[in-house]
A and B are shown apart, each in its own frame.
Chain A
Amino acid sequence: MIGRELREQFPILNQEVNGHPLVYLDSAATSQKPRQVLDAIKKYYEWDNANVHRGVHTLGSRATDAYEGAREKVARFLNATSPEEIVFTRGTTTALNLVAASYGKAVLKPGDEIVITPMEHHSNLIPWQQVAKATGATLKYLPLQNDGTISLDDVEATLTANTKIVSVMHVSNVLGLVNPVKEIAEIAHRYGAAMVVDGAQSVPHMKIDVQALDCDFFAFSGHKMCGPTGIGALYGKKSLLQNMEPIEFGGEMIDFVDLYESSWKDAPWRFEGGTPIIAGAVGLGAAIDFLQEIGLDTIHQHELKLAAYAYDKLSMIDGITIYGPEEDRIGLVTFNLDDIHPHDVATVLDAKGVAIRAGHHCCQPLMRWLEVSATARASFYLYNTEEDIDQLVSALLETKEYFSDAIG
């Protein structure tokens, strides 16, 4: 079951926007949530809610089981070797900041190198800028090919014995391409560097096996994969996590507290100071169940098909520029239409009920690389259909007409 048949499980999709049925094409920003996830969160609050890891009462045990059960689900979902390799975070941004601020600060010294790419989301770029400044390490960029892809020869040529961390996004939120993170990890390890993967745009759309990728850290967000906002996770190899220092201190994360000294719990709990995002974790667990019932392979095929269909249909529009490679795109198409600014495109589309994203997509360096100030992006998910894309195309044609009339 995929596409139209799934629609009724997403209550939000059944509405009119500005007098037209909603066509939601902004799932790369955040996905919509199925009833199953909404119900799981509601049930948790109505039945199990209590703080975790401290109460001796029944609700406390149930809440702890729900929270730790969600951790086990995430571990199985990513094929981690144990739940102890999963740290719950607020999302991908917090997960990447944790790696940079804890692992990065500990291993980097002046002269060391961090290697990333110009296509990174700001959340996999600024934390490395900051840790480079703090430690005296150098931030280096892999070059991009003309179509935005990374060549493994360039990876070989860029890494050196001084490279300590390589961090790359798995799927680009602008170009829709899949980066060869497994192959990059292999090269990184040969140079003695740790491999960090930003999985925000891959986890929702394809089966992830962190052991097969052999990455050292893998970060993702729940809200892009049918889960609630405010929850995500960092996978880290146990051997690395257990030697990392926490970056937030307080309740829940301690072993023993004295007046002047304290010690921490084991990983992953030492990284989860304060009352954790319990209901969020429950919602994320429900989202994982939902995606696995449909099947990640089914979802992946659906995304590939929709993106290819969209690429074909959009490229037939006169005056359109599509960014990124033609083949093997995951679930999105980024474009510009004539000289019409993407904000204007998005406003006209919104008036026709079609929701897309316009702007720099938190990728200002990539926008500069593409030599544009902003782009429009239509992104798809398991509930989208070819008809949604037909609606997008017809709304874009109307946008062209509207602006040629308006500008005269």
Chain B
Amino acid sequence: MQLDDLYRRVIMDHYKKPRNRGTFDADAVTIALNNPTCGDRISLQLILDNGTVKDARFTGEGCSISMSSASMMTEAVKGKTLEEALNLADRFSAMVKGEEVEFDEYEDIEALSGVNKFPARIKCATLAWNALRKGVEQQ
């Protein structure tokens, strides 16, 4: 078990400088989710336009893994159709369970593949993606 497999530099960069952190004034789809086992929580906002995610922002509290994952997810999902967004979430789940998955659309995400070796942390990584899935499925 190598810590550097988990805490890659790109993850720390997203943790320290989260992308898309904040809220929208405009009407947005808001999804609040928490991880009851540890207290991490996220509120995700999506601006949807004609079946496409125009923009995404998040606020929340949590560890480096949950917050960096939220930062990456909001970057990756912008401009995607709802179907593509769900596909991203599916591929992310597969990746953290240990499958080889590539994210050509946003390579930073691949840095989180190391989570698979830290089973206790998989829930941290998937929190934001579960919020995305919930938001899309509500539509």
Contacts and interface: CB of A to CB of B under 8 A. Distances in A.
Interface stretch (A37-45, A170-178, A344-352): A344-352
Contacts of A18: 1
Interface of B: 1-3, 6-7, 9, 12, 15-16, 37-41, 61-65, 118, 120-121, 124
Contacts of A402: 3, 7
Contacts of B65: 343-344
Nearest to B8: A406
Q: How large is the interface on A (under 10, 10 to 19, 20 to 34, 35 or more residues)?
A: 20 to 34
B38 A360 contact: yes
Given A402-B7, A406-B7, A408-B12, A373 B40 contact: yes
A364 interface: yes
A373 B61 contact: yes
Contact of B1 (A351, A373, A403): A351
Contact of A359 (B16, B39, B61): B39
Nearest to B38: A359
B112 to A, nearest CB: 14
A374 interface: yes
A33 B35 CA distance: 30
B121 A347 contact: yes
Contacts of A367: 39
Contacts of B61: 373
Nearest to B1: A18
B118 A347 contact: yes
Nearest to A375: B39
Contacts of B3: 347-348, 351, 402
Contacts of A342: 63
A140 interface: no
A367 to B, nearest CB: 7
B12 A374 contact: no
